[in-house]
Amino acid sequence: MPPMAAGRVTGRLCVALLMIVLTACGSSPEIGRLLAGEVENLPPAIALDGVPFYPQEAYQCGPAALATVLNFSGAAVAVDELVERVYIPARQGSLQPEMLAATRGRERIPFRIQPSLASLLHEVQAGRPVLVFQNLGLDWLPQWHYAVVVGYDLEAGSLVLRSGTIREYTTSLALFDRTWRRTGRWGFVALRPGELPADRDPLRYLEALMDMEEVAQSHQLIPAYLAAAERWPQSEIFPFALGNLYYRDGQLELAGQQFRQLVQDHPQFAAGHNNLAQVLLEQGSLSQAEAHARQAVALGGSRRAVYQNTLMEILDAADSPGQG
């Protein structure tokens, strides 16, 4: 089970731990590259002044941080609503899975950023606050904490967060990274369907969408897959998933158009031929359906048996009374 988001630490002990962290903190090679301006497409300073702020009550940093990113994304929600959704009184904190699930429940896609400062700053540079998970204590005596990164200044070597009861909490990149590293550098942005992350890795975005499919209706995800297919036209996965969404939503005509374009752009993609064959079968275009089903079987692959079943279904339909 992932670590909890809060711990009972006295004020005196917090000060002591902070002093230990400050004296032990050193700059990583990545911070050196950031401060030297060696990271591509990263302005020297960004401030997201429009991000809301919700002062955090005792042990409820999770709901407050989540309300910050959700409300900024346009998903209106009160902190009290999220307390009921993600806060676990017995543990005086919030678990990461609950934070992600609550985000999906508000029709936002929680995109886990890559565990690096550069990835974090690129999201801020793109105009999105990043919810982060920190350990403000030590590995053996943790003090779990959620906060939201809303700005940075590379010349000053600093980061700005909505944290605790401080609207603009400024800390050094080195100190932040040390507290963030103890949680595996866990963080995410809340995306509206159709909004893409700064991260250019299609598989990471696909993973976020697949997790979202467990709770979202098909029509809610169509804008997300449309945007992904436009950004990554070389990938067959996003147009394929988009065709499946149209199909599940009962939009056979759009599904057929999507699969036709897919196999035109990726003629060796067997699954695309198979799904187009299924749509054509349901539309009554049996000869075209058979042609694409045979193409899928010929291309083969690990799902060849599935393609063979589609072909047999089409052949049975063609042999049925009243079929030509």
Same domain membership, residue 160 and residue 38: yes
Tokens read off for 197: 């992350």
- Please provide the average confidence, as pLDDT, over all residues in the chain: 89
Per DSSP, the residues of 141-204 read B--EEEEEEEEEETTTTEEEEEETTEEEEEEEHHHHHHHHHTTTS-EEEEEPTT---S---HHH
Same domain membership, residue 206 and residue 187: no
Q: What is the mean pLDDT of residues 11-38?
A: 58
Tokens read off for 136: 């403000």
Question: Given 172, 191, 210, which residue is the final one in a domain?
Answer: 191
Q: What is the band of 27 on the pLDDT scale with cuts at 50, 70, 90?
A: low
Q: What is the pLDDT of residues 250-274, one digit of tens each?
A: 999 999 999 999 999 999 999 999 9
Question: Which amino acid belongs to residue 153?
Answer: D
Same domain membership, residue 38 and residue 159: yes
Yes or no: say if 162 and 65 are a contact pair by the CB < 8 Å rule: yes
Same domain membership, residue 208 and residue 144: no
Judge whether residue 90 has pLDDT over 70: no
Residue 97 covered by a domain: yes
Same domain membership, residue 220 and residue 76: no
Same domain membership, residue 206 and residue 69: no
Same domain membership, residue 138 and residue 43: yes
Range of the domain at 73: 11-191
Q: What is the mean pLDDT of residues 83-94?
A: 77
Q: What is the pLDDT of residues 235-247, one digit of tens each?
A: 999 999 999 999 9
Q: What is the mean pLDDT of residues 183-197?
A: 97
Yes or no: say if 87 and 93 are a contact pair by the CB < 8 Å rule: yes
Q: Which residues have a Cβ under 8 Å from the Cβ of 24 and sit 6 or more positions away?
A: 178
What is the pTM assigned to this prediction?
Answer: 0.84
Residue 288 covered by a domain: yes
List phi, psi (to 5°) of 46: -140, 140
Q: What is the CATH number of the domain that holds 211?
A: 1.25.40.10
Judge whether residue 53 has pLDDT over 90: yes
Q: What is the mean pLDDT of residues 222-251?
A: 94
The pLDDT score that the predictor gives to residue 28 is 81
Bridge partners of 138, per DSSP, are: 141
Same domain membership, residue 142 and residue 22: yes
Same domain membership, residue 163 and residue 132: yes
Q: What is the pLDDT of residues 66-79, one digit of tens each?
A: 999 999 999 999 99
Residue 144 covered by a domain: yes
Residue 324 covered by a domain: no
The pLDDT score that the predictor gives to residue 92 is 66
Per DSSP, 207 falls in state H
Q: Where are the alpha helices (DSSP H) in the chain?
A: 11-24, 29-35, 61-72, 79-86, 96-105, 117-125, 173-181, 202-212, 218-231, 237-248, 252-265, 270-283, 286-299, 304-319
Residue 57 covered by a domain: yes
Residue 4 covered by a domain: no
Question: Given 191, 214, 247, which residue is the final one in a domain?
Answer: 191
